[in-house]
Copies of this chain bind each other. A is one copy, B any other.
Amino acid sequence: MIISIIGSGNMAHHLAMAFENDNIQIESIYSKTSKNATKLAAKLYDTAVQKSLDFSDSESNIFIICVSDSAIEEVANAIILPDNSLLLHTSGSMPLSILNVAKKNNFIETGVFYPLMTLSKDVALDFSSIPICIESEDKKSVDALMYLGKKLTKKIYTINSKERKTLHLAAIFASNFTNHLWAISKEIVDEEGIDFEILKPIIKETLRKAMEAEHPADVQTGPAVRMDQTTIDSHLKSLKEDKDLQNVYKTLSNSIKDWHHGE
């Protein structure tokens, strides 16, 4: 199994490092900005910079597209692959079928290799606890994806495009939005000169309880679930200088009230 990677962002970076750690050869990196490809290749043991999307002379049999969602189809359309290649994308929200344009000229298979994780530059990643969602219509390609996934993690899930889109949407709520709420809470205490450290225990305990409950809704606390309108009004008044925070507070409180007390 020899891999080439298209892209040089967070996903390309984390996957290349992880595969190389597991002794899978990364033959080449392509990036629109070749400087970025050079940077990433320099971090790897024996990886070349690919200058164009014409991979016809490549020895790789797996090509992983790690570019932004909106650029995947363009890459799939332009890429030229050796016969019998497997072309993958790594996106949570894009269907497998977006790679169909790559099938036009020669015999290639397509698949998805989607690590369900939040990736940040400069934050090292231990893939062993990360679920990887794989998809392909070709049985042999599913086996290859399974083999590749197992190099990184024990948590492999075969997930179709519709399910993957749902997972990705749920992850926005579960990860991106919660992170933003922590940012807001830090901002609120910072303004009063209070140390954010004081909030960390309640944040960690909230997560622990939610993950151990049968349903996070079972352990919901706070003024909204108690229908404590006096506290809610007092908080909205405190936030009157910041219409955005007031709006976030109101929307989430209403959503909690609807969930627990609506019809």
Contacts and interface: CB of A to CB of B under 8 A. Distances in A.
A23 interface: no
B180 A220 contact: yes
A7 to B, nearest CB: 14
Interface string A214-256: 0111011111111010110011001100001101110110111
How many copies of this chain? 2
B211 A116 contact: no
Contact of A178 (B165, B182, B191, B254): B182
Contact of A199 (B70, B116, B219, B244): B116
Interface in A121-180: 123, 129-131, 133, 155, 157, 159, 162-163, 165-167, 169-180
Nearest to A184: B173
A131 B189 CA distance: 15
Interface residues of A, dominant DSSP:
helix
A53 interface: no
A183 B217 contact: yes
5 contacts: A130-B201, A170-B194, A175-B202, A180-B252, A183-B215
Given A123-B209, A167-B189, 17 more contacts: A68-B226, A116-B201, A117-B202, A117-B205, A118-B202, A118-B206, A120-B219, A131-B202, A165-B238, A166-B238, A175-B202, A177-B248, A180-B259, A183-B220, A207-B207, A244-B255, A244-B258
Interface of A: 68-70, 93, 116-120, 123, 129-131, 133, 155, 157, 159, 162-163, 165-167, 169-186, 188-189, 191-192, 194, 198-207, 209-211, 215-217, 219-226, 228, 230-231, 234-235, 238-239, 244-245, 247-249, 251-252, 254-256, 258-259
